[in-house]
C-alpha cells in the first residue's frame, strides 16, 4: 500500500482492511515521504503493519514496486489508502485467482465512497481500453458514471485492466513482467503492467462479488494539471511501447489526430490545463526516444502471444468519438 499523507483516510482504510477479512495477511505500507502524523499513528494503532519509509515521493508505481519487493507471500494485494471494503472481499479475490493458473490479476467491483450506489471512477466493474489507448471502464466512460444495479455482474469476467485502486495478483508473474514502470509515476501504470502480462499469455479478470468503496481523486483531484499531463503522457507511452511495430505505425497518425481534436475541444471549453497537459505529453515523448526504444525491447522479450490475441480484449473503435460525437455514454451501448 503506497501512502503519502492522509492520516484519517489511512486509519479508516486499515481498520476496514483488518475487519473485512479473516485471512492472515501481511500489510506493507510504503510511505512516500509523508509530512503529517501518519507514521506515528500507524505505530500506535497498527503495530503489525510493516513500514517501508522512502526519503522521497516515488509515486504510486515506485511505491508499489518497493512494497512488492518486501513481500513474502505468493499473492500481492495492491491497494489504495483511500478505500474501505466489504466483508469477505479478499476471500472472493483469492478464490477467483486460484481458479486458473493463467489468471495474473483480479479486480473487485469498485464503488464510490461518496455515492455508495454508484460505480467508482477509477475502475468501476472492470477496466477496458480502446485501440488508441484511451481507457474506460464498465460503468464509467469519461465523466459519465453509472449507478450499480448489478448490470455488469454477469458480463464476461475477462477485462483488459484491473484498477490500481485494488487488485490481487500473482507475485511471480508481476516480477516476470518487470513490475510497474517507475517512469509512469502515477496513472495507467497498472494498465501498462497488465498489458505486458497479457502479452505473456495471462488473463486479467473481475470478481463482482468482491466489493471495495473508493474515495476517488483524493490524492490528485480530477482537474489537477499534473494529472492531466500524466494521463496523456502515460497513455501515449503505452501506445508506443506495447504494440508491435506495424500496428504502432498504422495507428499512430489516428492517435495524433484524436489528440488534436482533444486540443480543439479543450480550447473551446477554455480548458487550458488539458491543452498544456497534451502538449507537455507530446514534448516528453519526442525528447525521450531512447526510453521508448528501451521499453519496446523489454516488452518484445516478454512476448509469448501476438497482438491479435490481445486485441480480442480491446475495444476496436474510438471511445472518445463514440462518447462525444455519437452520445454513447454507457458501456452497454458500445
Domains of the chain by start residue, with CATH: 72-333 (3.90.550)
pLDDT the model gives residue 222? 56
pLDDT band at 118 (very low <50, low <70, confident <90, very high): very high
pTM of the model: 0.94
* Beta pairing, strands 127-129 & 75-79: unpaired
Mean model confidence pLDDT for the chain: 95
Mean pLDDT confidence for 166-181: 98
Mean pLDDT confidence for 56-78: 95
Indicate the burial class of 250 (C-beta count within 10 angstroms; 0-12, 13-18, 19 or more): exposed
pLDDT the model gives residue 225? 81
Q: Which of 77-86, 127-136, 180-189 has the weakest average pLDDT?
A: 180-189
User: What DSSP assignment string belongs to 259-319?
Assistant: HHHHHHHHHHTT-HHHHHHHHHHHHHHHT-HHHHHHHHHHHHHH--S-HHHHGGGSB-S-H
Mean pLDDT confidence for 57-68: 95
Helix (H) or strand (E) holding 125: none
Amino acid at each position: 500500500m503506497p501512502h503519502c499523507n492522509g492520516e484519517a483516510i489511512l486509519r479508516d482504510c486499515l481498520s476496514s482492511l483488518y475487519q473485512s477479512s479473516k485471512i492472515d495477511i501481511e500489510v506493507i505500507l510504503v510511505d512516500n515521504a509523508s509530512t503529517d502524523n501518519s507514521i506515528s499513528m500507524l505505530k500506535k494503532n497498527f503495530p503489525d503493519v510493516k513500514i517501508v519509509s522512502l526519503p522521497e515521493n516515488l509515486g504510486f508505481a515506485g511505491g508499489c514496486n518497493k512494497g512488492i519487493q518486501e513481500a513474502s507471500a505468493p499473492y500481492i494485494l495492491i491497494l489504495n489508502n483511500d478505500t474501505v471494503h466489504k466483508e469477505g472481499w479478499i476471500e472472493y479475490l483469492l478464490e477467483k485467482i486460484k481458479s486458473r493458473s493463467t489468471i495474473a490479476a483480479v479486480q473487485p467491483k469498485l464503488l464510490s465512497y461518496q455515492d455508495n450506489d454508484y460505480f467508482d471512477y477509477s475502475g468501476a466493474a472492470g477496466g477496458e481500453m480502446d485501440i488508441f489507448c484511451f481507457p474506460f471502464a464498465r460503468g464509467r466512460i469519461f465523466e459519465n458514471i453509472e449507478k450499480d444495479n448489478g448490470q455488469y455482474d454477469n458480463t464476461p469476467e475477462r477485462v483488459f485492466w484491473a484498477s490500481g485502486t485494488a487488485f490481487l495478483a500473482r507475485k511471480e508473474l508481476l516480477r516476470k513482467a518487470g513490475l510497474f514502470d517507475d517512469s509512469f509515476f502515477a496513472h495507467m501504470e497498472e494498465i501498462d503492467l497488465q498489458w505486458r502480462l497479457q502479452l505473456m499469455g495471462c488473463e486479467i479478470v473481475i470478481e463482482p462479488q468482491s466489493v471495495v468503496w473508493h474515495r476517488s481523486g483524493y490524492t490528485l483531484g480530477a482537474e489537477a494539471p499534473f494529472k492531466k499531463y500524466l494521463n496523456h503522457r502515460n497513455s501515449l507511452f503505452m501506445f508506443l511501447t506495447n504494440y508491435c511495430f506495424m500496428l504502432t505505425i498504422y495507428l499512430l497518425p489516428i492517435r495524433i489526430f484524436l489528440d488534436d481534436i482533444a486540443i480543439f475541444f479543450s480550447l473551446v471549453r477554455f480548458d487550458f490545463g488539458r491543452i498544456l497537459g497534451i502538449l507537455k505529453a507530446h514534448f516528453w515523448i519526442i525528447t525521450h526516444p531512447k526510453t521508448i526504444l528501451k521499453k519496446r525491447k523489454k516488452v518484445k522479450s516478454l512476448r509469448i502471444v501476438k497482438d491479435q490475441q490481445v486485441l480480442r480484449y480491446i475495444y476496436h473503435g474510438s471511445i472518445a468519438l463514440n462518447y462525444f460525437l455519437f452520445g454513447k455514454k454507457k458501456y452497454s451501448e458500445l
